Amino acid sequence: MNASSKSIIQKDTVVKGEIRNCRQIDIYGYVEGKLAAESVLIHEDGTFYGTLKTDSADIKGSLQGDVFVNRLINIRSTGTVNGNVQYGQLAMEMGANLSAHLRNVPPRIAGDLDLTVGRGQAVGVTTEDLTAVDPDDAAADLVYTVSNAVNGHVATGTSRKTPISMFTQADIEANKIIFVHDGSQTDTASFDIVVKDASGATSGAAQTVKVTVKGRK
């Protein structure tokens, strides 16, 4: 990815790869890879993991990896920086966290968490709907737990009548996971999910995947 002016990584957006020749980048979502920019602003919910080279950095979210800041790195009260950090100048607000040691990064849930299904039908869960990001773990090691399914259930495409309570990010990427509506006369359905990595770290409080039900009542 090349950018010559200001770029914005929106919340719930996941970008993996290389970003270079960027004047300014604002990160509200999740970026993993290599980033070269004149200035970087990581917002409170934003995360960058990888190799960062920049003239200046303003950190309100999470930054981890190999960090090279030619001039000022400003770590705000909500900011966390971990890794091999080289900088020209450092400013830290009360409550900010700077560590020279890498640590396990807990998984994070992204995607729009929004499905649409026909009444009494099934719909596939794609990476656009639901995805787990974690630079420490492979997709097969990121395990979702399902709870509080309403007006339907989560299943595999090969056994749609059998509810499942666990699946992996690899299952989503292989298009194996579906949501099956129970045919009830309602316009909505839902289920809650939490994801855990191989080290036992989780994405935190359960998040709800909302399902819109289409079709005649």
Looking at 33, 64, 99, the residue that finishes a domain is: 99
User: Would residue 142 count as lying in a domain?
Assistant: yes
Residues 116 and 73 in one domain: no
Residues 117 and 167 in one domain: yes
Residues 120 and 94 in one domain: no
Please write the tens of the pLDDT for every residue from 153-181: 999 999 999 999 999 999 999 999 999 99
pLDDT grade for 205, boundaries at 50, 70 and 90: very high
User: Would residue 56 count as lying in a domain?
Assistant: yes
Q: What is the CA radius of gyration of the chain?
A: 20
Residues 46 and 127 in one domain: no
Are 104 and 49 a contacting pair, CB within 8 Å?
A: no
Please write the tens of the pLDDT for every residue from 125-153: 999 999 998 887 889 999 999 999 999 99
What does the DSSP assignment read for 9-71? E-TT-EEEEEEEEEEEEEESSEEEEEEEEEEEEE-TT-EEEEEEEEEEEEESSEEEEEEEEEE
Please write the tens of the pLDDT for every residue from 23-42: 899 999 999 999 999 999 99
Domain of 51 in residue numbering reads as 6-99
Please write the tens of the pLDDT for every residue from 46-102: 999 999 999 999 999 999 999 999 889 999 999 999 988 888 888 989 888 888 665
In 3D space, the residue among 86, 75, 83 whose CA is nearest the CA of residue 101 turns out to be: 83
What span, in angstroms and rounded, lies between the C-alpha atoms of 128 and 115?
Answer: 10
Looking at 59, 79, 99, the residue that finishes a domain is: 99
Residues 90 and 135 in one domain: no
Token couple for 158: 């090969």
Residues 90 and 156 in one domain: no
Half-sphere exposure of 190 (CA within 13 A, CB side): 10
User: Would residue 65 count as lying in a domain?
Assistant: yes
Residues 128 and 179 in one domain: yes
User: Would residue 52 count as lying in a domain?
Assistant: yes
pLDDT of residue 134: 85
**pTM, whole model, 2 decimals?**
0.71
Average pLDDT rounded to a whole number, residues 174-195: 96
Total domains in the chain come to 2
Residues 119 and 165 in one domain: yes
pLDDT of residue 6: 81
Residues 84 and 27 in one domain: yes
The 8-class DSSP code of residue 200 comes to S
What span, in angstroms and rounded, lies between the C-alpha atoms of 96 and 76?
Answer: 6
User: Would residue 1 count as lying in a domain?
Assistant: no
Residues 192 and 137 in one domain: yes
User: Would residue 64 count as lying in a domain?
Assistant: yes
Residues 73 and 166 in one domain: no
pLDDT of residue 22: 85
Are 134 and 108 a contacting pair, CB within 8 Å?
A: yes
Please write the tens of the pLDDT for every residue from 97-119: 888 665 677 888 999 999 999 99
The 8-class DSSP code of residue 101 comes to S
Looking at 99, 122, 138, the residue that finishes a domain is: 99
Residues 118 and 95 in one domain: no
